[in-house]
Amino acid sequence: MQKAMIERAKQLLADGTVKRVIGWKRGEFAYDITPAVFETADELDRDFVFDDFTAANVSKYLVKESRKEGKVLAFLKPCDTYSLNQLTKEHRVDRDNIYVIGVPGGPKLDIEKIKAKGITGITNVRNENYTIKVETIYGTEELPFYEAIMDKCASCKSKKHVTYDELMGEEGDVLDSNRFDMVEKLENMTSQERYDFWRSELSKCIRCNACRNVCPACTCENCVFDNPKSGIDNKAPADSFEENMFHIIRAFHVAGRCTDCGECSRVCPQHIPLHLLNRKFIKDINSLYGEYQAGADTTSKAPLNEYTTDDCEASIVHERGVE
């Protein structure tokens, strides 16, 4: 696939269809890829990579890239196309200036999961028929592919590209995923148990803002948490209240716009399952206001920008579930 992608990108660069290519660049090791913009065939040949570790969603970079002169070619996985659609709907990208090639999605590997098994000194990672062979300076280790996949891929919602100009590989379907299982499990706990769960998770937060900055739905020029005039700006979780507030507001601000791409949890250095907050909103929206998938199209109104006169009252929260 990688080879075909490089060839196609080179063609499109050569015939002038696009001026730049956004994709993933090879790193120092087998797994540390970086999203990057390529401008020449040489750069593509040397550094372009598409493999089991290219999990990063590059659609947010298109906010900046699509406003530059000349078209940009973007290789997008199915989940990334939802993000792009949402950005298009919100007029954050110039869709006409982007040439999208849909490429197959994951499951992608999570190097942290491999390392958590005590494997270290990693020099190479190979996928042989869904067995991962990890070569290290201490010898070779093996583990089943599915034990090391990204959490976001384990509950994949769709293999379908919702927007593209060209497709490489086969088109998939929207999946019947299990993505709300954990949310449901938490809903069925007591209020004290939920409180304890979230305290132990959110107290790990170091307020690095990676979850916010990577989020394709978070595109404010100046975030309220960075604005000294807002009265709530901070660079550190100075109190447990601030940890709660930051994560509630972060998730709330993208409620109805979050496509559930899972980047927030992927980048969290402390492994906080932040996507659960977003999924809680998605689940509530689905059950209270009708099924809605952000990014599935570019025309529908976001659930929080809309209403019906017979919506449920807020007291519904008091009436359902476990106290």
For other proteins, the binding residues in 154-183 under the rule CB under 8 A are: 183
Q: Which of 289, 292, 298, 300 binds other proteins (CB under 8 A)?
A: 289
The smaller minimum CB distance to other proteins, of residues 138 and 146, is found at 138
Which region, judged by CB under 8 A, interacts with other proteins, from 66-74, 79-87, 112-120, 164-172? 112-120
Shortest distance, position 111 Cβ to other proteins, whole Å: 8
Closer of 11 and 287 to other proteins (Cβ): 287
Query: Of 175, 186, 297, 300, which lies in the binding site for other proteins, with binding defined by CB under 8 A?
Result: 186
- Between strands 98-102 and 166-167, the pairing is parallel
Location of structure tokens 């509630």: 248
Among 146, 181, 195, 301, binds other proteins (CB under 8 A): 195
Nearer to other proteins, 162 or 268 (CB): 268
Q: Is residue 21 a contact residue for other proteins (CB under 8 A)?
A: no
Query: Minimum CB separation from other proteins for residue 74, in Å?
Result: 13
Q: Is 123 left (phi over 0), alpha (psi -120 to 50) or beta?
A: alpha
Looking at the Cβ atoms of 162 and 257, the one nearer to other proteins is 257
- Go through 172-206 and write b for each residue having 16 or more CB atoms within 10 A of its CB, e for each that does not: eeeeeeebbebbeebeeeeeeeeeeebeebbeebe
Q: Identify which of residues 90 and 187 has a Cβ nearer to other proteins in the complex.
A: 187
Is 265 in contact with 214 (CB distance < 8 Å)? Answer: no
According to the binding rule CB under 8 A, does residue 290 interact with other proteins?
Answer: no
Instruction: Give yes or no for residue 266 binding other proteins (CB under 8 A).
Output: yes
Least spacing, CB of residue 271 vs other proteins, in Å: 4
Q: Which stretch binds other proteins (CB under 8 A): 6-14, 100-108, 168-176, 284-292?
A: 284-292
Between residue 129 and residue 148, which ones bind other proteins under the rule CB under 8 A?
136-138
Nearer to other proteins, 162 or 280 (CB): 280
Q: How far is the CB of 154 from other proteins (least distance, A)?
A: 15
Judged by CB under 8 A, the stretch of 86-94, 161-169, 170-178, 232-240 that binds other proteins is 232-240
**Alpha carbon 127 to chain centroid distance?**
23
> Contacting other proteins (CB under 8 A), which of 1, 11, 29, 67?
29
Q: In the complex with other proteins, which residue's Cβ is closer, 170 or 314?
A: 314
| Contact stretch for other proteins (CB under 8 A) within 72-80, 94-102, 116-124, 146-154 | 116-124
Residue 315 near other proteins by CB under 8 A:
yes
